[in-house]
Amino acid sequence: MRSTRWKAASRAAIALAGAGALAAGMALFVTAPASAGTTLGASAAEKGRYFGTAVAGFKLSDSAYTTILNREFNSVTAENEMKMNATEPQQNQFSYGAADQIVNHARSRGMSVRGHTLAWHSQQPGWMESMSGSALRQAMLNHVTQVATHFRGRVVAWDVVNEAFADGSSGGRRDSNLQRTGNDWIEAAFRAARAADPGAKLCYNDYNTDNWTHAKTQGVYNMVRDFKARGVPIDCVGFQSHFNNDSPYVSNYRTTLSSFAALGVDVQITELDIQGASANTYRSVVEDCLAVARCNGITVWGIRDSDSWRASQTPLLFNNNGSKKPAYDAVLAALNNGTTPTDPPTDPPTDPPTDPPTDPPTTPPPGRGGSTATVSTNQWPGGFVATVRVTAGPPALGCSPVSTPPPTGPSATKPWSHTLARTALPAT
Ligand code: G2I
């Protein structure tokens, strides 16, 4: 009966993540690792996404910390080690030791790396804080160029510019020494980053941009729309998503994510933490990301509550002794229950953009016997997550059982995660 049921209607979904290019015509070998569906990273990969965490370099010697890091996460952001004060403590004297340690730890274990951050009004080295005008502009661009060049090929996405918009009702830029060099400082930074590392995704990253109705959200949205219209190289927008009682999660968060995605950029949740770690709120955030095709990853801002910049708010997924909290279970369940959308992002509430997202899922017409296959990808320089979904037709139409993996197809040269899942459908 079971095989009849499989013949009658079955689905095979393959989520394949790798660090190599898809090569047509080669065999696709897919195995199911033991961790599939049981860790945040593996479950996110099954949905074509990553699940990352901020990492503090000095904690890599803490085995309790690295045990969780290595088991659960497949993306890493340096919490402080790539900031301007860390990488260029003296002008034109670059210091990469602490950042390289994190990058090497991640990449040697198959985790991807988000770069944070190339240009920011905060955490500047002292020599830069006291600069202004064209000298500061040149120093900032040199910093972007040097740091992006150093990490070229090892960082999949950069927060090129961080937190450049003002809080409150203005919807405009934040005053800073960088802003005072001219309103075009952000696009200048993006162009320098693109020239230095053409393969990296280039993101704008900010906080309190989660509520679609907020002026700050609209200000960033208008900048990204303008950049896309004028060809300024921007690929993604990071939503820090530090949720707390003063800046809570709101149900229009999904609208925010989908509206930005509809501009033709990826969206990423880059620094997630939630005061009190409500399981329901964490679940909603994950469901919102999964509902938006171009939301390609979630990063939590630390592992255990004691690792958080807001430790007293207990905002993370693991408690101080490393045990999983209810929020962890909610996130894992949401990742496992979620579906990868095949629809394009929804139109934004205002001023729908014209750029279609790249790499939309393709849905061919049903073949003989009603079988269908869809392929969707999330790609970044040097890596990808491909999801292949095959749906078999009813036996009455002469369909044979689904063969998985397909006899010919793509291969990964350096896969870091590949999983196979089958879901039996009710007999029709
Ligand atoms: O403030 C939370 C985050 C908001 N978005 C940008 C992120 O880069 C930022 O991260 C936090 C880190 O979690 C903190 O760890 O950024 C802070 C400022 O860079 C970090 O705090 C700093 C302290 O201010 C320093 O005193 C300390 O030396 O961490 C440093 C390293 O522990």
Our answer to whether residue 163 is catalytic in this structure is yes
Question: In angstroms, what CA-CA distances link 352 with 83, 213, 222, 264, 312?
Answer: 35, 16, 11, 11, 41
CA of 53 to the centre of ligand 1 (A): 14
Q: Which of 46, 72, 81, 163 is catalytic?
A: 163
Question: In angstroms, what CA-CA distances link 314 with 247, 274, 328?
Answer: 16, 8, 13
Does residue 243 come out as left (phi exceeding 0), alpha (psi in the -120 to 50 range) or beta? beta
Question: In angstroms, what CA-CA distances link 296 with 15, 51, 101, 267, 366?
Answer: 13, 9, 25, 7, 28
Tokens of 418: 């590949």
pTM summary value = 0.77
In terms of Cα–Cα distance, which of 399, 291, 299, 385 is closest to 338?
291
- pLDDT tens digits, the chain, 428 residues: what are they? 233 222 222 223 333 333 333 333 333 333 334 356 999 999 999 999 999 999 999 999 999 999 999 999 999 999 999 999 999 999 999 999 999 999 999 999 999 999 999 999 999 999 999 999 999 999 999 999 999 999 999 999 999 999 999 999 999 999 999 999 999 999 999 999 999 999 999 999 999 999 999 999 999 999 999 999 999 999 999 999 999 999 999 999 999 999 999 999 999 999 999 999 999 999 999 999 999 999 999 999 999 999 999 999 999 999 999 999 999 999 999 999 975 554 344 444 444 333 333 333 333 333 333 343 434 444 443 344 444 443 343 333 333 333 333 333 333 333 333 333 333 333 32
Our answer to whether residue 271 is catalytic in this structure is yes
Ligand 1 contact via 123 beta carbon (within 6 Å): yes
Ligand 1 contact via 81 beta carbon (within 6 Å): no
CA of 261 to the centre of ligand 1 (A): 28
In testing the pocket of ligand 1, which one of 79, 85, 209, 312 has its CB within 8 Å of the most ligand atoms?
A: 79
